Amino acid sequence: MTQDELKRLVGQAAADYVLSNVADGAVIGVGTGSTANCFIDALAPHKRRYRGAVSSSVATTARLEQHGIKVFDLNEIESLPVYVDGADEIDPTGAMIKGGGGALTREKIVASVAEIFVCIADASKRVPVLGGFPLPVEVVPMARTAIGRRLTAVGGVPVLRVTNDGAPYITDNGNEILDVKNLRIDDPRAFEVAVNAWPGVVTVGLFASRGADFCLLGTESGVETIDYDTHR
């Protein structure tokens, strides 16, 4: 199967999980990116079963609303039974690199309040150690150079994310992103805590302190379910 076919496969598997395990009338947390879009498309025919969704980005909000799914502000919601999102990399403990689509801060906020975090990904995203995919770090613009020096000091090669016309990429929160290459993240939880503590960092795209509870992984032989509770 192609990568797009694998994404649609796990998007449908995530919709099936929600339909089987999440009570009618609930609000669903939805991530950002092409795999999350496949989940939205698969869930849309059943939208009347649920009150709506909390979105992690402007782009996701637009896709949900195109399907007629009501989007709630997180401040309006008392509980979020599930959050479904993709990953750029995921390791054997359920720690992830996320943020290739630029929505890492809002994704991390929504994930932090969800009871269950379901990662949906194709098999290429499963890695033994995080760091092959450049680590996104969302920064306040005035701190970009200072944070870049600190990332260089720990062995990284930070590159400012830019748009097709060469201008700095601006997140939905009005900040910039440094994509950090040349990292091998052996202890993602410790590295996440350390980088998040640097003044000027909005958030680092490591989802380790709150990693995935399980992953629906698209493989050539079908969807593999990986439960990470036994690895923590």
For the chain, give the mean pLDDT: 96
Q: Are strands 52-55 and 222-227 parallel, antiparallel or unpaired?
A: unpaired
pLDDT at position 230 over 70: no
pLDDT at position 108 over 80: yes
Q: For residue 100, what are its two tokens?
A: 């290739």
114 annotated binding-site participant: no
pLDDT tens sequence across 19-36 = 999 999 999 999 999 999
35 annotated binding-site participant: yes
pLDDT at 18: 97
73 annotated binding-site participant: no
87 annotated binding-site participant: yes
Q: At 37, is the pLDDT very low, low, confident or very high (cuts 50, 70, 90)?
A: very high
pLDDT at position 75 over 80: yes
34 annotated binding-site participant: yes
Q: By three-state DSSP, how is residue 192 classified?
A: helix
98 annotated binding-site participant: yes
pLDDT at 231: 45
E runs forming strands in 86-126:
89-90, 96-97, 114-122
What percent of the chain clears pLDDT 90, i.e. is strictly above it? 96
145 annotated binding-site participant: no
pLDDT tens sequence across 173-184 = 999 999 999 999
Q: Which of 89, 107, 138, 176 is catalytic?
A: 107
Q: Is position 107 annotated as part of the catalytic site?
A: yes
Element (H, E) at 109: helix 104-113
For the chain, which domains are there? 3-127+209-231 (3.40.50.1360), 135-205 (3.30.70.260)
pLDDT at 1: 81
39-47: average pLDDT: 97
Spatial separation of the C-alpha atoms in residues 33 and 47, rounded to whole Å: 20
CA-CA-CA-CA torsion for 59, 61, 64, 67, nearest 10 degrees?
A: -90
Contact between 126 and 120 (Cβ < 8 Å): no
pLDDT at 87: 97
pLDDT at 229: 78
Read off the DSSP letter of residue 187: -
154-179: average pLDDT: 98
Q: For residue 2, what are its two tokens?
A: 């192609």
Contact between 147 and 194 (Cβ < 8 Å): no
91 annotated binding-site participant: no
Q: At 232, is the pLDDT very low, low, confident or very high (cuts 50, 70, 90)?
A: very low
Closest CA to 90 of 122, 118, 38, 130: 130
- The most distant pair of C-alpha atoms in the chain lies apart, rounded to whole Å, by 52
Reported pTM: 0.94
